[in-house]
A and B are shown apart, each in its own frame.
Chain A
Amino acid sequence: MYISRLFNSLNVSMQAQYMTELLELNEKTKEYGLVLTPRDVELMMAARNEVLHSYGRVELSIEVTKALIEVFSASSFIQQENYVDTLNELHEIFYDLKNETEDRISDMKLLHRMKDMFEEDCEGSLGLLKSRLEEYAEEFRRELQKNESLFEGENDYWDLKI
């Protein structure tokens, strides 16, 4: 894929910067007993790139990764031993959900929706979270279709509220 290759080459120069920023987050997550080593960060970023590639997405920054760490580290369902694996899964769930909701919901809104479901409905189960979010995406697309047929031709991209 030409474009993701080009983007990755741009991101290479940013790798050191990314590493520093992500490791700095340990200061905040430490209070929940969660810490990432440089090796963890490397693996996590490699897994994230793999996810982006397989879901056909181009990512500009690490804002989503940082937000996932900040939002989810407060969860009592995440422990140090499953921390990296959970973050990897959350990345995958997030980018899949971006596709499934046709890029119509903002990153922050999606992240918080994920966190709320993870805590309340799913009680920390990632499997359950996936299936709940699938239902959510389905419902969202149904609404979207309904709205589009109502306002045909006026698809103002980011204004849809659901």
Chain B
Amino acid sequence: MGSENLNKRRELTVQGGIRKSRLQRNQYTISLMNEGLRAGLLTSREMMRIQNAFMQILQELIKKYTRGESTSVTTETAESLLTSIMYAADAHLFSFEEPEKAIVYLKTVDVRQIYERGVEKVSQCLEETKQLYKQITANKLEVPVDAYNMTIDESLPVFLRKYGIIFDAHNTMASIDYPLAVDDMRLQGVFYMKQYLEQLKLETEFCAMFDQRELLDLLAHYGRECRFNYRIELFNIYELVLNNAIFSVLSGGDADQIRISESQYQRLEQQFMSLTEPQIRSVISGAMGKLQQELPIHTRLKEYMDGCMEDLVQRVTNAAKHGSLRAVIITEREAGVKSIVLFFNEEDRMSDVELRRRLDEIMACERKEDKVKLILTSFHSFHDFLDMLESECLFGDEYTALFHAFGDMELAILAKTVFYEELRSESLDLPSILLLENEYKMDWQMQFVRCLQSMSRERLQGVEKYMDEIDYEQMKFY
């Protein structure tokens, strides 16, 4: 290859400039340097100088990290510290509007200064995140959804307390289970958390515009529709609320309503089944506009809502195609008509001491008939009952004797608990679930399955009848 050719090539790359698509938010400085090198905005000598400057910072950070007690660290530690340094540099360089400006800055300004400014940015972001968290706790929704509550009450405070600006800035180390409608997972560390909280705040603000009773009913109807216990499931509340508010507008209801009656559902079904995708997009967009007009919605929230629209359009289009609109339009279902009311009262529980005493008594019984009798007479709470089964105080055929002594209703309650996953994922009937021969963690669960497998078809039908009528609403498993 002649030198002329080479020069031509270089010229071409120089003209290409920075391609923003090649820059990564997560490794911004590194991708910026690589892109700068490729586009001829940075020479390899400059690149080397910048790299060395970062390594000098790393050396100092390692000393700080070991508090001068050690001059070496594991490679993993060094890499993690370097990532933390780059996280700060990214924070600063990303704030430049144009990447070209960031490259000029990298070339001309002391790398240490870039790093220090970045650390300030990270620290400032942490403070803002703490403020956001306060606002979120003050306006938290009163909903019995574990993932939502635990994320706010437990996981976020741990993050805010343990987040390390210097040594661990890139680390998100928190178990954030509650899923948002829109979540940029490319972000890390405190920038991720800030974004998460900002969006959670918007979602919470929106949900708080609706009647609390209607919201709780919506959750219950949703749980019934999906045949699961919504309290322990991972789903986004805001999306449910937004979708139903849109459906309300589309079926003649008010914008601040999220209740969809059966007749409203029928109207919506008829409407959606006859529309093409662009038409569905158009009606949903119209309803979204109305919602944004009639509810006190500010610009930021409006943008967020708009960002969720296309997802709903796709879901409705698909559901209309497959005749599964009920899964998208959560419709009111009267629980009282067919459900049996069960009382699982927390207050009925025995104290730990009493429970232990009862378990000892059961263990002390020699005959299985006596054990069964004792259990039937002394356990009245579902929770105690589960505790007893989980304590493994019974063996082999003692389980069989106990389960056979139960009525269909008791067996149905246990079946709803043991077959939670099977009932949730597919609408299988009890005999088909028993044919699956799934493995279960606890001995009592395996014994329970075996016992049901040995029962007559008529008996199983009896159990299943109750299973259909019992609502997860009334059960708590822990």
The residues of A with any CB-CB pair to B shorter than 8 Å are 1-4, 6-7, 9-10, 52, 56-61, 63-64, 95, 98-99, 103, 106-108, 157-158
Instruction: Name A94's closest neighbour in chain B (CB-CB).
Output: B72
Measured in the bound complex, the distance between the Cα atoms of B75 and A3 in whole Å is 7
Measured in the bound complex, the distance between the Cα atoms of B55 and A2 in whole Å is 12
Contact assessment for B55 and A106 in the assembled complex, using a CB-CB cutoff below 8 Å: no
Which of A3, A60, A99 neighbours the largest number of chain B CB atoms within 10 Å of its CB?
A: A60
One digit per residue, 1 when the CB lies within 8 angstroms of any chain A CB and 0 when it does not, for chain B 76-120 equals 111100100000000000000000000000000000000000000
| Chain A hits for B78, CB < 8 A | 3, 7, 58
| Chain B hits for A95, CB < 8 A | 72
Contact assessment for A58 and B55 in the assembled complex, using a CB-CB cutoff below 8 Å: no
Contact assessment for B66 and A103 in the assembled complex, using a CB-CB cutoff below 8 Å: yes
| Chain B hits for A56, CB < 8 A | 74-76
Contact assessment for A58 and B75 in the assembled complex, using a CB-CB cutoff below 8 Å: yes
Is B175 interfacial (CB 8 A cutoff)?
no
Contact assessment for B51 and A60 in the assembled complex, using a CB-CB cutoff below 8 Å: no
Q: Which of A3, A10, A98 contacts B79 (CB 8 A)?
A: A3
Measured in the bound complex, the distance between the Cα atoms of B59 and A10 in whole Å is 10
Chain B residues touching A, range:
20 to 34
Measured in the bound complex, the distance between the Cα atoms of B72 and A98 in whole Å is 9
| Chain B hits for A107, CB < 8 A | 69-72
Contact assessment for A158 and B74 in the assembled complex, using a CB-CB cutoff below 8 Å: no
Is B67 interfacial (CB 8 A cutoff)?
yes
Instruction: Name B62's closest neighbour in chain A (CB-CB).
Output: A60
Instruction: Please give the distance in Å from A55's CB to the nearest CB on chain B.
Output: 8
Is B73 interfacial (CB 8 A cutoff)?
yes
Measured in the bound complex, the distance between the Cα atoms of B66 and A108 in whole Å is 13
* 8 A Cβ contacts from B45-59 to A: 51-52, 55-56, 59
Measured in the bound complex, the distance between the Cα atoms of B67 and A139 in whole Å is 24
Q: Which of B52, B66, B70, B82 contacts A3 (CB 8 A)?
A: B82
**Given known contacts A6-B51, A10-B55, A58-B62, A103 and B70 CB-to-CB distance under 8 angstroms:** yes
Measured in the bound complex, the distance between the Cα atoms of B72 and A52 in whole Å is 9
Instruction: Please give the distance in Å from A158's CB to the nearest CB on chain B.
Output: 5
Is B63 interfacial (CB 8 A cutoff)?
yes
Measured in the bound complex, the distance between the Cα atoms of B71 and A157 in whole Å is 15
One digit per residue, 1 when the CB lies within 8 angstroms of any chain A CB and 0 when it does not, for chain B 238-264 equals 000000000000000000000000000
Instruction: Name A59's closest neighbour in chain B (CB-CB).
Output: B72
One digit per residue, 1 when the CB lies within 8 angstroms of any chain A CB and 0 when it does not, for chain B 318-335 equals 000000000000000000
Q: Which of B59, B67, B73 contacts A57 (CB 8 A)?
A: B73
| Chain A hits for B75, CB < 8 A | 1, 3-4, 56-58
Contact assessment for A58 and B69 in the assembled complex, using a CB-CB cutoff below 8 Å: no
| Chain A hits for B77, CB < 8 A | 58, 103
Q: Which of A10, A57, A63 contacts B74 (CB 8 A)?
A: A57
| Chain A hits for B76, CB < 8 A | 56
Contact assessment for A58 and B73 in the assembled complex, using a CB-CB cutoff below 8 Å: yes
| Chain B hits for A63, CB < 8 A | 71
| Chain A hits for B66, CB < 8 A | 103, 158
| Chain B hits for A7, CB < 8 A | 55, 78
| Chain B hits for A52, CB < 8 A | 72
Measured in the bound complex, the distance between the Cα atoms of B62 and A61 in whole Å is 11
Contact assessment for B73 and A103 in the assembled complex, using a CB-CB cutoff below 8 Å: yes
Instruction: Name B52's closest neighbour in chain A (CB-CB).
Output: A10
Contact assessment for B82 and A60 in the assembled complex, using a CB-CB cutoff below 8 Å: no
Measured in the bound complex, the distance between the Cα atoms of B63 and A7 in whole Å is 14
Measured in the bound complex, the distance between the Cα atoms of B77 and A59 in whole Å is 12
Contact assessment for A98 and B82 in the assembled complex, using a CB-CB cutoff below 8 Å: no
> Can you give 10 A-B contacts (C-beta < 8 A)?
A3-B75, A4-B75, A9-B52, A56-B75, A58-B62, A58-B72, A58-B73, A58-B75, A60-B72, A106-B69
Instruction: Name B75's closest neighbour in chain A (CB-CB).
Output: A56
Which of B67, B71, B77 neighbours the largest number of chain A CB atoms within 10 Å of its CB?
A: B71
Instruction: Please give the distance in Å from A3's CB to the nearest CB on chain B.
Output: 5
* 8 A Cβ contacts from B439-466 to A: none
Instruction: Please give the distance in Å from B287's CB to the nearest CB on chain A.
Output: 48
Measured in the bound complex, the distance between the Cα atoms of B77 and A74 in whole Å is 34
| Chain B hits for A98, CB < 8 A | 70, 72
**Given known contacts A3-B78, A103-B77, A60 and B71 CB-to-CB distance under 8 angstroms:** yes
Instruction: Name A102's closest neighbour in chain B (CB-CB).
Output: B74
Contact assessment for B55 and A6 in the assembled complex, using a CB-CB cutoff below 8 Å: yes
Instruction: Please give the distance in Å from B87's CB to the nearest CB on chain A.
Output: 16
Measured in the bound complex, the distance between the Cα atoms of B423 and A129 in whole Å is 61
| Chain A hits for B56, CB < 8 A | 10
Instruction: Please give the distance in Å from B74's CB to the nearest CB on chain A.
Output: 6
| Chain B hits for A2, CB < 8 A | 79
Instruction: Name B82's closest neighbour in chain A (CB-CB).
Output: A3
Contact assessment for B71 and A64 in the assembled complex, using a CB-CB cutoff below 8 Å: yes
Instruction: Please give the distance in Å from B111's CB to the nearest CB on chain A.
Output: 14
Q: Which of A1, A57, A158 contacts B69 (CB 8 A)?
A: A158
Measured in the bound complex, the distance between the Cα atoms of B69 and A106 in whole Å is 5
* 8 A Cβ contacts from B292-310 to A: none
